[in-house]
Amino acid sequence: MTKERATRHSLEQALAKSEARERAILDTVVDGIITIDTSGTVLNFNRAAEKIFGYRADEVIGQNVNMLMPDPTHSEHDQYIHNYLTTKQPHVIGLGREVEGLHRDGHSLPLELAVSETCIDGEIFFTGILRDISERKTAEREIIRSRDIAERSTRAKSEFLANMSHEIRTPMNAVINLAYLARQDSGIPEKTRSYLTKIETAGKNLLGIINDILDLSKIEAGKLDIEQRPFDLHNLLEQLTALVSFRAQANNVEVMFHIEPEVPHWLNGDALRLNQVLTNLVGNAIKFTQDGEVVLHVSVIDREGDTYRIRFAVTDTGIGMSEEQLSQLFQPFNQADGTISRRYGGSGLGLAISKQLIEMMHGTISVSSEPGKGSLFTFDIQLPAAADGSFYTDPHDLNIGSLNILVIDDNQSARLIFHDMLTRMGFKVTVCPSGEQGLEVLRGANNDPANAYHIVMLDWNMPGLNGLDTLKLIKQDHLAITPKVILCTAYGVENLRLFEEAIHTDAFLSKPFNPSTLLDVLVRTTKNKTDHSYSPENTLDLSLQAALREISGAHILLVDDNEINQLIGVDLLESQGFRTTVASSAQEAFSALEKSEFDLVLMDVQMPELDGLEATRILRRDQRYKDLPILAMTAHAMAKDRVSSLKAGMNDHLTKPIDPQELYRALVSWIGHRLPVETA
């Protein structure tokens, strides 16, 4: 063998070895690799490609690559190559994309394909790298199927919740509001009034449990929204008083509210959800406290412009909790332990829901407690002040700013709260821990008329000389200036009315109270209006009463197909001097509007034939009713229901069971600006 032949032989061996190495590498790659020339002829077909398509390499090499493609790609592939070579506009070159391949047995299979172009010695080759993505596509289809099932389930749950909410709220509206209306009758016996109060309270408690279950489901389904609307914090606390006072009386617990003056009166936020959290925390504190006290303290801990970070702290003197019990506290359906549920009742949902609501309001909640030493629940949330926000009313604006007030209360927390609120209002205040000391202070001041007391805030339930006995002695003392006496109680004004001595009082004040409530009763008392019926549990505040008098006589159309709802609506409206016309269907409402002029329409949403939403749309298309206030008054209580009402053209959305104060405030808001202003 010549040297030249030896060299050539060596090069051929090296080339063969290199090709074998490249073939081995290509055959071990997990992705299919196919190389073709510009005519589409397959030049290379690795082992992974064999596995993907079911062909041996010798069955494919030398054939047109379109044999591996289903129609229409099979018929169009040669044209794709021609167009690319002519225009150099890539269709798949250099791009990763999903395509369909054709298996030897005839079934299509999804592939992920990336194509690259190579030029060797002036000849162009295309190499495709393919991956069978059948398993991934199957998994994706399963994910989509599972998602669709979950979405259908969520929709079904949402519809179920909406239906259940409506079906439950409709009869609860009757139970709660008929009890409320019945106990407004001054002629009924006190025992009957007490029964009615208990029915109303039990109805609200039942509604609370139902709402907890619905709310937890809505949170889990992602259907619960947090609103941003102006609300009156003091009014919210009055509503809280009505909700918790009965349980407080039953447990012999004194509940007090301490609102710092820096806290804005009006705020922007979700009053319903905030009230729900406070009701749960204060209600729990009362439930687990016997013969003690519960204090809700509201303060500002930070402020940026008109946005306040407000702290709500609920302190009780109840049974307290261990570290182990605290660790389970915010879990759904869990209470501190099994005996808690058996002894105190409850679903174990309230705290779990409260925590989630606080977090949805961008807040945090914490708790500290020791067994036998009570508990402290604290949560902070950020709330902007409403545009018309205000702080304490200045008593001087009401001509009562120079009052000298004596507070007689055995509870130290109550004395501190009275003193703080009254002194911040500008009054001169003295506090005493007992009836005996209070009488001594009054008698001492009798010798100095300049320092005589105008008002005595007198607690009823005190050891030794109780409030009623102290009241009797004050009235019998023949002081140079006999003060007005406001009898204060945490145990229900109705209980006080059973005592003959109570007729000597000038006014009643139920605990807990807020600054607005306290100021209201002071105004009533100093204006020489003896008031034996006042209680924030069942009486509208002064500003709302005044506003209602301004729109008294307004004509309201009540549209509702339910007879009990009609009865409740008419009584609530006519008790405040409104003229009311009832329509049992949308068609009757249209007829009534043709015959008479109305200042406002209260429209039920769910009615047969034509529902309230469609009826409102029809009315809004008529120029005569373009500006007529239409308010939904409905058992549909989901957030989306409110949105639907507003989109249909309604001005507001009130949910059943109807809160009388909420109804009256809405009427004042929407009727007030429509009535003509009287000029002198």
Alpha carbon of residue 644 to chain centroid: 17
Average pLDDT over residues 216-236: 75
pLDDT of amino acid 410: 92
What domains does the chain contain, in order, with CATH numbers?
20-132 (3.30.450.20), 162-384 (3.30.565.10), 395-537 (3.40.50.2300), 547-672 (3.40.50.2300)
With cut-offs at 50, 70 and 90, classify the pLDDT of residue 338: very low
Joined tokens for residue 528: 């020489």
Q: Which residue has the higher pLDDT, 104 or 478?
A: 104
- The answer to whether residues 600 and 632 touch, using CB atoms and an 8 Å cutoff, is no
**Of how many residues is the chain composed?**
680
Q: Which helix (H) or strand (E) holds 160?
A: helix 134-182
What's the pLDDT tens digit per position in 493-512?
555 555 655 667 888 888 88
Q: Does residue 344 surpass a pLDDT of 60?
A: no
Beta strands in 473-573 (DSSP E): 484-489, 507-510, 555-559
Q: How far apart are CA 114 and CA 573, in angstroms?
A: 74
Lowest pLDDT segment from 84-93, 137-146, 198-207 = 84-93
The per-residue DSSP string of 429-459 comes to EEEESSHHHHHHHHHHHTT-GGG--SEEEEE
User: Rounded to the nearest 5°, which phi and psi values hold at 535?
Assistant: -160, 130
Q: How far apart are CA 569 and CA 602, in angstroms?
A: 9
Q: What angle is formed at CA 566 by the lines to CA 561 and CA 568, rounded to 5 degrees?
A: 145
pTM above 0.75, yes or no: no
- The answer to whether residues 584 and 558 touch, using CB atoms and an 8 Å cutoff, is no
Whole-angstrom CA distances from 243 to 206, 213, 535 are 12, 19, 13
Lowest pLDDT segment from 183-187, 241-245, 394-398, 605-609 = 394-398
Average pLDDT over residues 239-258: 82
Which residues make Cβ contacts (< 8 Å) with residue 30, sequence separation at least 6?
A: 48, 131
What's the pLDDT tens digit per position in 179-196?
888 887 777 887 787 778
With cut-offs at 50, 70 and 90, classify the pLDDT of residue 531: very low
pLDDT of amino acid 675: 57
Backbone φ/ψ region at 145: left (φ over 0), alpha (ψ -120 to 50), beta: alpha
- The answer to whether residues 200 and 660 touch, using CB atoms and an 8 Å cutoff, is no
pLDDT of amino acid 402: 76
SS (H, E, C) 62-118: CCEHHHHCCCCHHHHHHHHHHHHHHHCCCCCECCEEEEEEECCCCCEEEEEEEEEEE
What are the b/e assignments for 9-42, b being 16+ CB within 10 Å?
Answer: eeeeeeeeeeeeeeeeebeeeebbbbbbeeebeb
The per-residue DSSP string of 278-297 comes to HHHHHHHHHHT-SSSEEEEE
What's the pLDDT tens digit per position in 377-417?
999 999 998 865 454 555 555 556 678 899 999 999 999 99
Average pLDDT over residues 297-309: 92
pLDDT of amino acid 533: 41
Burial of residue 145 (CB within 10 Å: 0-12, 13-18, 19+) is exposed
Roughly what angle, to the nearest 10 degrees, separates helices 542-550 and 515-526? 70
- The answer to whether residues 316 and 292 touch, using CB atoms and an 8 Å cutoff, is yes
User: Rounded to the nearest 5°, which phi and psi values hold at 638?
Assistant: -75, 155
With cut-offs at 50, 70 and 90, classify the pLDDT of residue 197: confident
Q: How far apart are CA 349 and CA 124, in angstroms?
A: 71
Joined tokens for residue 292: 């003690």
Q: Quick one: which of 202, 296, 290 has its CA closest to 252?
A: 290
Q: Which residue has the higher pLDDT, 138 or 184?
A: 138
Burial of residue 503 (CB within 10 Å: 0-12, 13-18, 19+) is exposed
- Tell me which range, 197-206, 394-403, 619-628, is most confidently predicted by mean pLDDT: 619-628
Average pLDDT over residues 141-167: 77
- The answer to whether residues 406 and 471 touch, using CB atoms and an 8 Å cutoff, is no
Q: How far apart are CA 28 and CA 35, in angstroms?
A: 16
Q: Quick one: which of 233, 232, 231, 179 has its CA closest to 572?
A: 179
Q: How far apart are CA 534 and CA 493, in angstroms?
A: 8
pLDDT of amino acid 541: 59
With cut-offs at 50, 70 and 90, classify the pLDDT of residue 461: confident
What's the pLDDT tens digit per position in 255-268?
999 999 889 888 99
What's the pLDDT tens digit per position in 71-118?
888 888 888 887 887 777 666 666 678 889 999 999 999 999 888 888
Q: Quick one: which of 91, 90, 94, 32 has its CA closest to 57?
A: 32
Average pLDDT of the residues of the chain: 81
Q: Which helix (H) or strand (E) holds 381?
A: strand 375-384
Q: What angle is formed at CA 201 by the lines to CA 492 and CA 548, rounded to 5 degrees?
A: 80
With cut-offs at 50, 70 and 90, classify the pLDDT of residue 310: very high
Which residues make Cβ contacts (< 8 Å) with residue 130, sequence separation at least 6?
A: 31, 32, 33, 34, 49, 52, 101, 111, 112, 113
Average pLDDT over residues 304-330: 89
With cut-offs at 50, 70 and 90, classify the pLDDT of residue 562: confident
